[in-house]
Structure 1
Amino acid sequence: MAIKILSVDDELDLEVLLTQYFRRKIRKGEYEFAFAHNGLEALKLMLDQPDFDIILSDINMPEMDGLTLLTKINEMRNPALKCIMVSAYGDMENIRTAMNRGAFDFATKPIDMEDLERTIEKAVEQIAFIKEAQKEHNQLEAIQYDLTVARDIQQSILPKQFPPFPQYSQFDIYATMNAAKAVGGDFYDFFLIDDNHLGFSIADVSDKGIPAAIFMAISRTVLRATALRQLSPARVLQQSNELLCRESVNNMFVTVFYAILNIHTGELVFCNGGHSRPVYIQHEGDVSMLPLTGGLALGVMENATYQEKTIRLKANDSLFLYTDGISEAMDGDYNQYGNERLIKVCRSMKNMSAKEMVETMNKSVCEFVNGALQSDDITMLALTYKGE
């Protein structure tokens, strides 16, 4: 693409000099010249052809001098447009003023064409650098826009209305997901399987960023669709695993905890596919982690088998589900938050609402990391069984 140069000078012989000296570059399509005889003509041309790269302007002209034209060009805020000012050798005051106002360089009369050529070449190098930087900046802005849209889409598929089922007083549930990047691989979900059973899950994809976000959406869809067929937790994870093993790319997998609560009896049937153990907060008893059920993460191996276990929640017993972004959160000295601290905070959660439980844990983690960069997605789900 030709470099477009606008020469602004009231002396016609400069047009002849430029077209003769640069005739080879003009013929090759490297340079393209346009000419104006004063600042007003130049501005009109620039409005008609806003793609000029270099303005070669005399300082002393009638009907808008070069310094005024330079001010007008600066108002256009185009960093890729370079101005080379021309003046008599002894007119150093105006040349100094032009340079202070942002002119790229200057040439003195009588013009040394070889020196002017070198000046134009330097300007061309600067213009190419700035245009490439602008291109990269625009690409980054486009990527950031896409990430923002992806984040909004990802957040939109997670339940966000709390309380989600105000017609049911038997349980209280609340959840949040905070991605380490614009988008993440964690998710939570909950849904009514029928009038008597609540299904809920929490999961963590092995990767981060866009790939994890895509696999997260697939995993969440597969898990929910399978669960709504009213299968047991072990069967849900088994069938979801078969589907995800076919969809997995780059050896991605997802750890999942899935449970079904009978909202009338408190019976909880759960299956853990390689996920962090939820915390069982007994209202009138101990605080401990739920036992493992021996299952692999989903998407690792076809034909994997899964087992489930059953407990019975009493009134005001709670469960706290989380991803390892909490237990592995690090402070500035790379110390981990750890399970011991997590259990300690959970002991303080008795008699709290589900939302208060999540907020309490989030506050504790934030105080621990003390401003250190979040390295992993953090997702939490708290559930309290109220009883009939």
Structure 2
Amino acid sequence: MAIKILSVDDELDMEMLIKQMFRPQIREKKYQFYFAHNGIEALEILRENNDISLILSDINMPGMDGLTFLTKVNDLKAPLLKAVMISAYGDMDNIRSAMNRGAFDFITKPIKFEDLEITVKKTIEHIEMLSRLQHEHDQLLAIQTDLNIAKDIQQSMLPKVSNPFIESKALDLHAFLEPAKSVGGDLFDYFMMDDERLFFIIGDVSDKGIPASLYMAITKAIFKSHFLNKNCGDFCDEVNQINTFLSSDNPSFMFVTAFVGLLYVKTGRVEYIDAGHEPPLIIRKGKGIEVLKKRGGLALSIDGTFTYKSQELFLEPGDTLFMYTDGATDANNSAGERFGLKRIEELIGSMDDTESPKVINDVVRQQLQEFIGSHYQFDDITVLTIRYMGSA
């Protein structure tokens, strides 16, 4: 596409001179020139052609001089439109005034072709650079808009009520997810399968950002569709089927560590599958903190033929199950220190063992934020805490 240039000069032979100077560029359609004889005519041409990139304007003209015209050009608020002013040799006062009013460059009369050609080329290169920067800026804004929408969508997929069992005397529950980027690959979910069983999951996709968020959405959706289905079968069978599905079409070789469980509300029995996830903590009422012994299997979506076997634990009334992703334990501060599981144990151990899951999570979240400080949060942080109060 030709670069459009407006020449403004009251000397009639200027048009002929420019056409002669730039004849090759005009013939090759690199440049397209418009001509005006004063500022008034030039403004009218600019209004009719808003894609003009470069102005070559004389300063001393009748009707509207070049300095007044330059002020009017600035009022157009066109950052990619640049002006090169032309004045008599030695007319430094007007040249200085033009530069102060935003002229990009200047040349003097009598015009030397080489000087004019270099100045035009340099100005066009600057305009093209600004255009590329503006295009990249617009792209970044569009990407950020898309990321914000993706973040809203992802957050909307998480349970909307922090404790849906607020009226229940058997359960208290709270969770949070802090993505390292606008969107992330951590996930959690919980819902009552029926009057007796609470399904819960916490997981961590191997990647970060948009790819991980898409895989997170798929994983969460497939678990929910299986375990909310009235025909849901054996716990292990369902997880095995989900693993086969996730593994069957996985060209990016992502995987998901997960801790998946069913809590039987009447008895406190928890049937769980540890798919390579971080070991939960059990806050035993009046008995301190217990780190659940690892009996885990392979992370999900690595091997579709892997057979998962469930384990069980028992919660007594008043016990709390604290689950987290490795973004919590692996969080670093500016000194390069790792937060670690020990800090989490000490932090929770310093609290009353009757504290609600929300209080526990709020304290852990605050301490993590203070620990990380101004340092970069490099991984998603998710915590899911369930307190069992016993059958109603």
2:12 and 2:347 map into 1 onto residues whose CA distance is 84
Q: 1:250 aligns with which of 249, 252, 255?
A: 252
Which residue number in structure 2 is paired with residue 75 of structure 1?
Answer: 75
2:163 match: 163
Which residue identity is paired with 1:374? Answer: Q
User: Does structure 2 retain, via aligned residues, the 8 Å contact 1:8–1:37?
Assistant: yes
Residue 167 of structure 1 and its aligned partner are, at CA, apart by: 4.2
The superposition leaves residues 23-60 of structure 1 with CA deviations (integer Å, 9 ceiling, x where unpaired) of 22111101101112222221221121111110111112
- Distance in 2, Cα, partners of 1:72 & 1:37: 16
- Residue aligning to 1:213: 213
Query: What is the aligned partner in structure 2 of residue 340 from structure 1?
Result: 342
* 2:33 aligned partner: 33
**Pick aligned residue for 2:363 from 357, 360, 365:** 360
C-alpha contact 1:279 1:346 (8 A) present in aligned 2: no
The 2-side partners of 1:299 and 1:348 are apart by 38
For residue 276 of structure 1, what is the aligned residue in structure 2? 278
* TM, length-normalised to structure 2: 0.95
> Which runs of structure 1 show a deviation greater than 4 angstroms over 4 or more consecutive aligned residues?
none
Matched length: 388
Distance in 2, matches of 1:344 and 1:233, equals: 34
Identify the residue that residue 112 of structure 1 maps to in structure 2.
112
Question: Does the CA contact (< 8 Å) of 2:39 and 2:63 recur in 1?
Answer: yes
Would you say the 8 A contact 1:200–1:260 is kept in 2?
A: yes
CA distance in 2, matches of 1:169, 1:39: 81
- Give the stretch that moved more between structures: 90-99 or 365-374: 365-374
1:374: which partner in 2?
377
* In 2, Cα distance between equivalents of 1:65 and 1:316: 86
Distance 1:186 1:249 in 2: 20
Tell me, what secondary structure is at the counterpart of 1:163? Answer: coil
1-structure distance, mates of 2:342, 2:379: 19
Structure 2 Cα separation of the partners of residues 307 and 138 of structure 1? 51
Partner residue in 2 for 1:46: 46
Matches within 5 A, 1:178-189: 178-189=178-189
2:329 & 2:59 partners in 1: Cα distance?
68
In the aligned structure 2, how far is the partner of 1:2 from the partner of 1:146? 33
Deviation by residue 1:194-218 (Cα, 9 ceiling, x = unmatched): 1221111100000111111111111
Consecutive unaligned residues in structure 2, runs of 5 or more: none
C-alpha distance in structure 2 between counterparts of 1:36 and 1:331, whole Å: 63
Question: In structure 1, what residue type is equivalent to 2:377?
Answer: Q
Q: Name the residue aligned to 1:222.
A: 222
Amino acid at match of 2:371: F
Instruction: Give runs of aligned pairs for residues 64-103 of structure 1, distance below 5 A.
Output: 64-103=64-103
| Deviation (angstroms), 1:161 | 1.7
- Report which stretch shifted further, 260-269 or 171-180: 260-269
Residues 226, 239 of structure 1: 8 Å contact kept: no
Aligned to 2:193: 193
Residue type of the alignment partner of 1:29: K
For 2:116 and 2:218, locate their aligned partners in 1 and report how far apart those are by CA, in whole Å.
61
Amino acid at match of 2:354: N
> 1: CA distance between counterparts of 2:365 and 2:184?
18
> Deviation at 1:232?
4.3
2:165 and 2:171 in contact (8 A); partners too? no
Distance (Å, rounded) in 2 between the aligned partners of 1:187 and 1:69: 60
Would the aligned equivalents of 2:59 and 2:65 in 1 still touch at CA under 8 Å? yes
Alignment partners' CA distance in 2, 1:69 and 1:190? 68
Deviation at 1:362, TM superposition (A): 0.9
Identity of aligned residues (%): 46
Aligned to 2:333: 331
SS for the counterpart of 1:172 is strand
Which AA in structure 2 matches 1:192? Answer: M
Give the deviation of 1:223 after TM superposition.
1.6
Amino acid at match of 1:261: L
Deviation at 1:318, TM superposition (A): 0.8
Q: Is the Cα contact below 8 Å between 1:177 and 1:186 reproduced in 2?
A: yes
Give, in whole Å, the separation in 2 of the partners of 1:116 and 1:56.
Answer: 10
Q: Distance in 1 between matches of 2:41 and 2:321?
A: 76
Measured in 2, the distance between the counterparts of 1:289 and 1:226 equals: 29
SS in structure 2 of the partner of residue 10 of structure 1: coil
In structure 2, do the counterparts of structure 1 residues 231 and 322 end up closer, same or farther at CA, with 3 Å as the change threshold?
Answer: farther
Give the alignment's TM-score, normalised by structure 1.
0.96
Which deviates the most, 227-236 or 17-26? 227-236
Q: Quick one: which amino acid aligns to residue 137 of structure 1? A: H
Question: Which of 232, 241, 248 is the matching residue for 1:239?
Answer: 241
Match of 1:145 in 2: 145
Q: Is the 8 A contact 2:277 2:296 kept in 1?
A: no
Quick one: which of 368, 375, 389 aligns to 1:386? Answer: 389
Partner deviation per Cα, 1:337-357 (whole Å, 9 max, x = no partner): 111111111223422222111
Check conservation: 1:288, 1:343, Cα contact below 8 A: no
Deviation digits for residues 287-318 of structure 1, max 9, x if unmatched? Answer: 11223233110011122122222222222211
**Contact 2:166/2:172 (CA < 8 Å) preserved in 1?**
no
The residue type paired with residue 315 of structure 1 is P
Query: What secondary structure sits across from 2:287 in the alignment?
Result: coil
